[in-house]
């Protein structure tokens, strides 16, 4: 079990994050800040909870304003749509009602919402939604729901409760399914297209001059960026995770460097050097701008056979239904 974000717990987690970031970064930025959230209430509440500690006066003066993104389930933080994302996900391995193993299928009967016919987070009919439900609702109290006790007879098991052995088997099986999907090529392609607007439009070639950008999104948004920079996650990132991308420049030198941190840990992009050897900045594990751009181009070349990662026309083509259907036929 990992710590999970329930309503009150989530507010407390994000207020704690806001307080830490105020100490770490608050003095560096004024009101030249871009604040963006998806339209889901939980990301808006997470953002507001964060801001009450990060910059309390912003909530009182109503500045700066924040924007809501047009949103689909698998694609956020872009001003345009990308039809290819969902098409590619549909071709990747599924975690749905059909992926239950015979010996664990009874768990669905114990947790599903019988009043819902939809296989989603409300219906709880597949391993992923049930695993997320258990971690979110019960892990903070460090107890597993419907766990068979010693006095449960064999006839009661599987009708009313889950044994510890089956819980271990369930989460192990689900984690294996999650990992298989995360490494599959069409899923990798979908994650690149979903992460592109965040990495290009907000970091490498920003479309605005704001010094601070705060994006409030979902685990799939963080995981898309992490996957694209070579840090594929074999399980969902923890609740209230934070991904920070710092931009560094030397005085009187236009060359930019980047440092990427997930939950406070510095990430290194595989196969590219960190800054210049034998310099002070090398100790910070900074990424050179040119190397970062080359890496993005190489990822796009590997996944889509298109090298120019910074051409809006190429990206638009990659997002088109026609190109995606041709790609899937290869």
Per-residue pLDDT of the chain (330 residues; tens, 9 = 90+): 444 445 677 888 899 999 999 999 888 876 678 899 988 888 888 998 999 999 888 777 766 677 888 766 677 888 778 999 999 999 999 999 999 999 999 999 999 999 988 888 788 999 999 998 898 888 777 789 999 986 556 656 678 899 999 999 999 999 999 999 999 999 999 999 999 999 999 999 998 888 899 999 999 999 999 999 999 999 899 888 999 999 998 888 888 999 999 999 999 888 665 545 545 555 667 888 999 999 999 999 999 998 888 988 999 999 999 999 999 987
Sign, Cα dihedral of 170, 173, 178, 179: positive
Q: How far apart are CA 318 and CA 240, in angstroms?
A: 32
| Domains of the chain, each with CATH number or no CATH | 7-90+185-329 (3.40.50.1240), 93-183 (no CATH)
Q: State in Å, rounded, how far the first CA of the chain is from the last one.
A: 41
Contacts for 107-110: CB closer than 8 Å, 24+ residues apart: 107/162, 107/166, 107/170, 110/146, 110/160, 110/161, 110/162
pTM score of the predicted model: 0.88
């Amino acid at each position: 079990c990992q710590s999970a974000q329930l309503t009150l717990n989530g507010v407390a987690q994000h207020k704690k994050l806001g307080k830490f970031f105020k100490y770490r970064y608050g003095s560096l930025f004024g009101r030249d800040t871009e604040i963006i959230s998806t339209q889901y209430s939980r990301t808006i509440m997470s953002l507001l909870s964060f801001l009450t500690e990060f910059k309390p006066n912003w909530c009182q003066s109503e500045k700066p304003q924040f924007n809501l993104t047009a949103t689909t389930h698998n694609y956020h933080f872009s001003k345009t749509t990308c039809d290819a994302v969902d098409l590619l996900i549909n071709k990747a391995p599924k975690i749905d009602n059909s992926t239950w193993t015979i010996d664990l299928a009874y768990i669905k009967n114990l947790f599903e919402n019988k009043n819902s016919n939809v296989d989603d987070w409300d219906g709880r009919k597949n391993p992923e939604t049930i695993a997320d439900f258990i971690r979110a609702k019960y892990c903070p109290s460090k107890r597993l729901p419907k766990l068979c006790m010693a006095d449960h007879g064999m006839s009661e098991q599987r009708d009313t409760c889950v044994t510890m052995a089956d819980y271990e088997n369930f989460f192990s099986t689900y984690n294996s399914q999650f990992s298989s999907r995360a490494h599959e090529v069409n899923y990798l392609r979908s994650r690149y297209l979903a992460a592109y607007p965040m990495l290009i439009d907000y970091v490498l070639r920003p479309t605005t001059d704001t010094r601070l950008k705060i994006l409030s999104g979902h685990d799939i948004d963080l995981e898309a960026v992490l996957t694209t920079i070579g840090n594929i996650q074999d399980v969902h990132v923890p609740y209230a995770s934070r991904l920070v991308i710092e931009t560094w420049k030397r005085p009187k030198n236009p060359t930019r460097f980047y440092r990427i941190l997930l939950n406070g840990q510095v990430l290194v992009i595989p196969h590219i050097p960190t800054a210049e050897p034998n310099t002070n900045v090398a100790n910070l594990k900074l990424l050179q701008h040119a190397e970062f751009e080359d890496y993005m181009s190489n990822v796009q070349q590997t996944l889509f056979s298109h090298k120019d990662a910074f051409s809006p026309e190429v990206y638009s083509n990659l997002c088109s239904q026609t190109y995606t259907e041709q790609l899937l036929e290869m």
